[in-house]
Amino acid sequence: MSDAALTQGLHAAHHPRQMHHFDSMAQQKETATFGMWVFLVTEIMFFGGMFAAYMLYRMWYFPGFAAASSELDITLGGTNTVVLIGSSLTVAMAVHAAQLGKRNQTVWLLIATGVLGVVFLVIKYFEYKVKFAGHHLPDGGMIWLFPGREFQLGPFIYGGFDVSQSPELAPIASQVRIFMVIYFALTGMHALHMIIGIGILAVILRMAIRGEFSKEWHIPVEIFGLYWHFVDIVWIFLFPLLYLVHRHG
Amino acid sequence: MAPSIPIFPEQASTLASRVDNLYFFMLATSGFFAVLVTVLVVFFAIKYRRRHPDEHGEPIHGSLALELIWTGIPFIIAMVMFVWGASVYFALVRVPEQALDVYAVGKQWMWKFQHREGQREINELHVPVNTPIRVIMTSEDVLHDLFFPAFRTKMDALPGRYTQLWFTATKTGTFHIFCAEYCGTRHSGMIGHVTVMTQADYENWLGGGSAGGSLADKGQQLFSQFACITCHRSDAQGRGPVLNGLLGSTVHLANGNTLTADAAYVRESILNPTAKVVTGFQPIMPTFQGQVTEEQILALTEYIKSLPAAAAGSGGTGGAGASPAPPTPGPTK
Amino acid sequence: MTTTAAAPTALPARHYLNEQEGVKSWLLTTDHKRIALLYLFSITAFFFLGGFFALLIRLQLLTPTGALMDSDTYNKVFTMHGVIMVFFFLIPSIPATLGNFLLPIMIGAKDLAFPKINLLSWYIYVLGGLFALAALIGGGVDTGWTFYTPYSSMSSNSRVLTAGVGIFITGFSSILTGLNFIVTTHRMRAPGMTWFRLPLFVWAQYATSLIMVLGTPVIAITVLLMAFERVLRVGIFDPSIGGDPVLFQHLFWFYSHPAVYIMVLPGMGVISELIASGARKNVFGYSFVAFSSLAIAIIGFLVWGHHMFVAGQTAYAGLVFSIITYLVGVPSAVKTFNWTATLYKGSISYDTPTLYAFGFIGLFLIGGLTGLFLAAIGLDIHLTDTYFVVAHFHYIMVGGTLMAYLGGLHFWWPKISGRLYPDAWARLSAVLVFAGFNLTFLPQFVAGYIGMPRRYAMYPPEFQVYNILSTAGATILGAGYLFPMIYLTWSWFYGKPAGDNPWGSKGLEWETTSPPPTFNFDTTPIVTEATHQYGHHEEVKVV
Amino acid sequence: MSHLEDGHDHILPATTYYGIFAVLMVLTAATVAAAFVDLGPLNIIVALAIAVVKASLVVLIFMHVKYGDRLNWVVVGAGVFWLFILLSMLMLDYSSRGWMNVPPIQHVS
């Protein structure tokens, strides 16, 4: 690309990171961050479809949602909230360090972000494991994939009765089931975004270690920061919506 | 049916002409605009054709007045169409009080109709002329749509829900029934006929064959068969609410809400008994999901409807005044 | 064709097509023009595949009992026709080819903002397309392109999952294209290219991109949930365990109604350019045409419930959706009147692109006006799910979008290929397409009002005459589509060099060479006037 | 592109980030605490209100929208607005489900 630019003789000496089709570093940076923002809007709508389902079924099936939500581990969920907001802080500080051109600080803050991200996923793994062991993962036709994993109602309490022990509470069971579906869909999709984020983070960390970023050019850190913050924001909504449906009484 | 070439569907219901009038109005209005624009385009294209290669058009940039006119006029016409369409729609969805109920259940790939008098038909429906008919429908599997082109009405039949449509046929004869919502392989085979008969013919037809008695009779058999009767006793001593006079009455629920009992409530209470528990009763009724078909639910509903309203003094309160069931929580089937 | 300069004898020495050679230079290109050609090639393949299914549909319906195949096969054929035409042809058609090629040139940029993402979007499209083909080869899908639950999730025994994954993947291609266009329009305009100097095609692409970015993620998650439902029986759309099948329809149409505008808005943008160039005149009421695109894009998100008037949504929701639907009709009317007024005192050519533009106005007029019938909620009860609807949306999508696409292709082909196509053949095909189209779909309005339901493999005999007319028309239409494919391919190799500006048109794309150089312009252009200013633009006249 | 800034980042002092983090922590505690108090229908409103405040802080400060291009405000606003369209138009149907659509069965004498 730089060859073509040279032969065209269009570009005066410019920063080596400036791509051929931009006129200035400022334009390039504004373009990249704006692009990320537009992408995040699509992400809002992507989660929006699931939030729509959540809203409808919460309205219809509040008892089931209350029973199922109260079975989620609020300690683990709360810890994860703290962890994720903490990682938001570290990534914000990483961008800050990159803006100031402090390489070492950027590297360590990115590592901290990654560690917190992994901690979040590990905690999530243990939460999922409990649900899996309790057969709360709706599996439907995939019995062959999860032998003996038929959906069961673990100790979901509704109106003082254990739902799993009372056949007449079976209707609550389907409500619980729908909550669990939405829970796994939302948190699963969120966790997938975390995993992708950690993958991107690894690439950026490598670039940071190699000293590729500078005061003038640190676009990747910045747009990664935007992405990571967005994932954090999703969790900020997921936590009260999933874990805190009906904690009183 | 004679293979003649129809250009217009037969008008065979009271509302058909209202729908058609709206259609003609739309045809006229949009025809006018289509012709107007087409004539202008053709006229301009000929009059202002390019006469030599270097010619330019006149630089006319626009006119606020014209823009306002051709924003305003379509807007007004659109609002007229909306209001007209809405008024026809109200007529199509507002069922007359004295309508005769017929039940329809869609199933891949047939329509099953049940008359209250007990007749059951598949892909055939017999109705009397000049009588408002309401079809209450549901589906046993996927989405279907009951479509009567000659009556200008249709409605989706959804699994798990009741929907309805109504019509008053104005002509005797045989007309198409189509399934209009794609429902799988034999979707195009899910068609039938509605036969509109004179009142007298219809009475005869009704008298012809109702082997199992009326729909309510069938419901009564089911009521015993499923042992509903052990809890839902008419003497207000059962563990479930008295059902006499239930439909149309106000039900007070355990969670403090009230509702007006209708077919959907009855259906939900059979399949999902704990969803709406009557106040003073325990959520002890087992679900009948998977044990009872949609048609049987309709029969049960019809039976409940036929119960004398004034029994046991519980009146229209859906058994709220009955003594509450003994407190037996937990698994008591 | 009108040529103002002496006929050129050769293509320019260096241009984007010969800058680099070899398959690899195409598969790894980040040049928006080459990516546009990659798209052109792939969507043409899908168009003819979808067209083949259309032909099968028309042949089947020649006789009431179905002349060709059994119901099951027919259901798969119309589903694959719909899926391929909607997701793999119409949605990418104008944006990914003409938009990709022209948007940067029209705003005086060297490329799109994110060239690599642009290439990525093509690969994603191809991957999605491969899934669709896998579904097809693996036995087909029989749900209809709408994938309504619970049929798709619980009942159908066909390759729903594979097709769903294909649509899910292709959605991201659409999102990335839209994202690229939005960012490019905001950030990459040449000096002097203010918003109100943008060609109307760019406005239309911008409005389209908004829908792609805001709507597509919702269909992605909806299809995903449907797939979960199908595999895991999770119950989210299954009424027997508490789900609501109507929720699927809401989420589906939240995207799929605006998707109609993804298809037709770019077409409207093309027509604005064709009319302006064909009449050598700036478009009448520029800002009204520009803002009507945005209005359509935004209001278009508020009307999805008009697909569900009989689906079990409430009467109240139906009424609100009905009235908003009428509102979205107004900007479309404004556009049509402005195009017509543009012709007034123009210098109108009868070149092929102009013929297509006239055809578009005629067909879009019918498509749009019949939309008013369907928006009237009392009338829609009778019309919905009949052939009236089929005819209506084909008038919009095929009569509108496809006419505009072909018109645009003929208009910019000299720019894309650097060569001229045989004009007589092109005009003949334009006429064939117009005539064939009307013969195919006008009878369907009549059949629909009489009550012929859509998606029927067999039908009562009284509808036969309309189906015969339709099939006859489809044959002509097919020929009309085949010709351009042949003579455009021919002209790619043997056509006469076109010169920079064969139409004597205004616009940045006509100021560079044909074909353009890799970076579009030798020097960054500086824009000093609004779009399509012909003649003496200092004496601006307002009537 | 005249409206672009000169390309220099708007650099916030590090203390701002720590301050915002502290506020976010306090709000997290508040949302948990509020959930254990019976506020009736207000519970969900309080929970969402706190979440919106938290999200706004992240968007405005951590993501620099407060200091960036006006365009980014528009983009964020568009995202929120379209989500609102989706949810509210959906509710148009579901919130009126009980009004009329279910056929009441009357007594036919």
How would residue B211 be classed by pLDDT, with cut points 50, 70 and 90? Answer: low
User: Per residue in D61-89, pLDDT tens?
Assistant: 999 888 878 888 999 999 999 999 999 99
The burial of C64, by beta-carbon neighbours within 10 Å (0-12 exposed, 13-18 middle, 19 or more buried), is given as middle
Phi, psi of B169 (to 5 degrees): -70, 140
User: Which of A46, A80, A113, A248 should we substitute to test contact with D (largest number of D Cβ atoms within 10 Å)?
Assistant: A248
**Interchain CB distance below 8 Å, C281 and B57:** yes
The helix/strand count (H/E) of chain A reads as: 7, 2
pLDDT given at position B156:
95
Q: Which residues of C touch D (CB under 8 A)?
A: 186-187, 189, 210, 214, 218, 246, 250, 254, 301-302, 304-305, 312-317, 320-321
D49 and D83 assigned to the same domain: no
Chain D nearest-CA residue for B100: D108
Chain A nearest-CA residue for B275: A171
**Interchain CB distance below 8 Å, D106 and B248:** yes
Residue D3 falls inside a structural domain: no
Which residue in the set B98, B262, B309 is minimally distant from D103, CB to CB? B262
How would residue A137 be classed by pLDDT, with cut points 50, 70 and 90? Answer: low
Who's near C471: CB < 8 A, 6+ residues apart?
A: C58, C59, C61, C62
Residue D40 has pLDDT above 70, yes or no: yes
A146-160: burial string, b at 16+ Cβ within 10 Å, e else: eeebebebbebbbbe
Rounded-to-integer distance, Cα C115 and Cα C323, Å: 42
Reduce the DSSP state of residue C29 to 3 states and report it.
Answer: coil
**Interchain CB distance below 8 Å, A171 and B287:** yes
pLDDT given at position A27:
86
Which residue in the set C246, C301, C312 is minimally distant from D82, CB to CB? C301
Rounded-to-integer distance, Cα C288 and Cα C272, Å: 12
**Interchain CB distance below 8 Å, C214 and A45:** yes
Which residue in the set B95, B264, B305 is minimally distant from D107, CB to CB? B305
Count the domains in chain D: 2
CATH of C32-510, one of 1.50.10.20, 2.40.50.70, 1.20.210.10, 3.90.79.10: 1.20.210.10
Residue A95 falls inside a structural domain: yes
pLDDT given at position A122:
96
D107 touches chain B (CB under 8 A): yes
User: Which of D12, D45, D63, D64 should we substitute to test contact with A (largest number of A Cβ atoms within 10 Å)?
Assistant: D63
Who's near A154: CB < 8 A, 6+ residues apart?
A: A71, A134, A135, A136, A164
Rounded-to-integer distance, Cα A45 and Cα A37, Å: 13
Residue C474 has pLDDT above 70, yes or no: yes
Reduce the DSSP state of residue A157 to 3 states and report it.
Answer: strand
Chain C nearest-CA residue for B38: C362
User: Which of C154, C211, C219, C241 should we substitute to test contact with A (largest number of A Cβ atoms within 10 Å)?
Assistant: C241
Residue C212 has pLDDT above 60, yes or no: yes
Q: CA nearest C498: which of C424, C413, C441, C388?
A: C413
A229 touches chain D (CB under 8 A): yes
Which domain range does residue D78 map to? 69-95
How would residue B312 be classed by pLDDT, with cut points 50, 70 and 90? Answer: very low
Which residue in the set B6, B7, B89 is minimally distant from C381, CB to CB? B89
B305 touches chain D (CB under 8 A): yes
User: Which of B89, B134, B138, B307 should we substitute to test contact with D (largest number of D Cβ atoms within 10 Å)?
Assistant: B134
The burial of B226, by beta-carbon neighbours within 10 Å (0-12 exposed, 13-18 middle, 19 or more buried), is given as middle
D48 and D73 assigned to the same domain: no
Please tell me which residue, C46 or B333, carries the higher pLDDT value. C46
The two tokens of residue B311 are 């029994």
**Interchain CB distance below 8 Å, B58 and C346:** yes
The two tokens of residue A218 are 């640190």
Rounded-to-integer distance, Cα D109 and Cα C347, Å: 76
Residue D1 has pLDDT above 60, yes or no: no
Residue D54 falls inside a structural domain: yes
Looking at B152-161, B269-278, C217-226, C439-448, which range is the least confident one? B269-278
pLDDT (average), residues A106-121:
96
Chain A residues 39-68 within an 8 A CB cutoff of chain D: 40-41, 44-45, 48-49, 51-52, 55-56, 59
Residue A207 region, left (φ>0) first, then alpha (ψ -120 to 50), else beta? alpha
Which domain range does residue A131 map to? 28-243
A168 touches chain D (CB under 8 A): no
Residue D29 falls inside a structural domain: yes
Residue A205 has pLDDT above 80, yes or no: yes
Count the domains in chain A: 1
Q: CA nearest B138: which of B115, B118, B164, B114?
A: B164
Residue A1 falls inside a structural domain: no
Rounded-to-integer distance, Cα B41 and Cα C275, Å: 11
Residue A12 falls inside a structural domain: no
Rounded-to-integer distance, Cα B98 and Cα B78, Å: 35
How would residue A82 be classed by pLDDT, with cut points 50, 70 and 90? Answer: very high
Pair B296, B103: CB distance under 8 Å: no
B145 touches chain C (CB under 8 A): yes
Residue D109 falls inside a structural domain: no
Q: Which residues are paired to B177 by β-bridges?
A: B192
Q: Hey, what domains does chain B have and what are their CATH numbers?
A: 12-25+65-213 (2.60.40.420), 215-317 (1.10.760.10)
Q: CA nearest A16: which of A197, A213, A185?
A: A213
Residues of D in contact with B95 (CB under 8 A): 103
**Interchain CB distance below 8 Å, A166 and B285:** no
**Chains A & C: contacts with CB separation below 8 Å:** 124
Phi, psi of B280 (to 5 degrees): 90, -5
Please tell me which residue, C397 or D105, carries the higher pLDDT value. C397
Which residue in the set C188, C218, C244 is minimally distant from A49, CB to CB? C218
Reduce the DSSP state of residue D23 to 3 states and report it.
Answer: helix
Residue C539 has pLDDT above 50, yes or no: no
D101 touches chain B (CB under 8 A): yes
Reduced DSSP (H G I as helix, E B as strand, rest coil) percent helix, strand, coil of chain A, to 5: 75, 0, 25
**Chains A & D: contacts with CB separation below 8 Å:** 130
What CATH number is given to the structural domain containing A237? Answer: 1.20.120.80
**Interchain CB distance below 8 Å, B285 and A168:** yes
Residue A162 falls inside a structural domain: yes
Subunits with 3+ C-beta pairs closer than 8 A to A? B, C, D
**Interchain CB distance below 8 Å, B286 and A168:** yes
What residue type is C370 in one-letter code?
A: T
Pairing state of beta strands B192-197 and B124-128?
Answer: parallel
Looking at A114-118, B111-115, C162-166, C228-232, which range is the least confident one? C228-232
Which residue in the set C231, C250, C519 is minimally distant from A141, CB to CB? C231
What residue type is A146 in one-letter code?
A: F
**Residue C158 DSSP symbol:** S
Q: State the sign of the Cα–Cα–Cα–Cα dihedral C516, C522, C523, C529.
A: negative
pLDDT (average), residues A49-69:
89
Chain D nearest-CA residue for B93: D101
**Interchain CB distance below 8 Å, D96 and C187:** no
Q: Where are the domains of chain C?
A: 32-510
Which residue in the set D71, D85, D89 is minimally distant from C186, CB to CB? D71
Residue B209 has pLDDT above 50, yes or no: yes
In chain C, the percentage of residues whose pLDDT exceeds 70 is 97
Residue B32 has pLDDT above 70, yes or no: yes
Instruction: Calculate how close chain A gets to B92, using CA atoms only, in Å.
Output: 28
Instruction: Calculate how close chain C gets to B24, using CA atoms only, in Å.
Output: 10
Chain A residues 139-178 within an 8 A CB cutoff of chain B: 159-161, 165-172
B134 touches chain D (CB under 8 A): yes
D17 and D59 assigned to the same domain: yes
The burial of A61, by beta-carbon neighbours within 10 Å (0-12 exposed, 13-18 middle, 19 or more buried), is given as buried
**3-state DSSP of chain B:** CCCCCCCCCCCCECCHHHHHHHHHHHHHHHHHHHHHHHHHHHHHHHHCECCCCCCCCCCECCCHHHHHHHHHHHHHHHHHHHHHHHHHHHHHHCCCCCCEEEEEEEECCEEEEEECCCCEEECEEEEECCCEEEEEEEECCCCEEEEEHHHCEEEEECECCCEEEEEEECCCEEEEEEECCCCCCCHHHCCEEEEEECHHHHHHHHHHCCCCCCHHHHHHHHHHHCCHHHCCCCCCCCCCCCCCCCCCCEEEECCCCEEECCHHHHHHHHHCCCCCCECCCCCCCCCCCCCCCHHHHHHHHHHHHHCCCCHHHCHHHCCCCCCCCCCCCCCCC
Q: What is the average pLDDT score of chain C?
A: 92
How would residue A18 be classed by pLDDT, with cut points 50, 70 and 90? Answer: confident
In chain D, the percentage of residues whose pLDDT exceeds 70 is 81
Residue C5 region, left (φ>0) first, then alpha (ψ -120 to 50), else beta? beta
User: Per residue in B49-63, pLDDT tens?
Assistant: 999 888 888 888 889
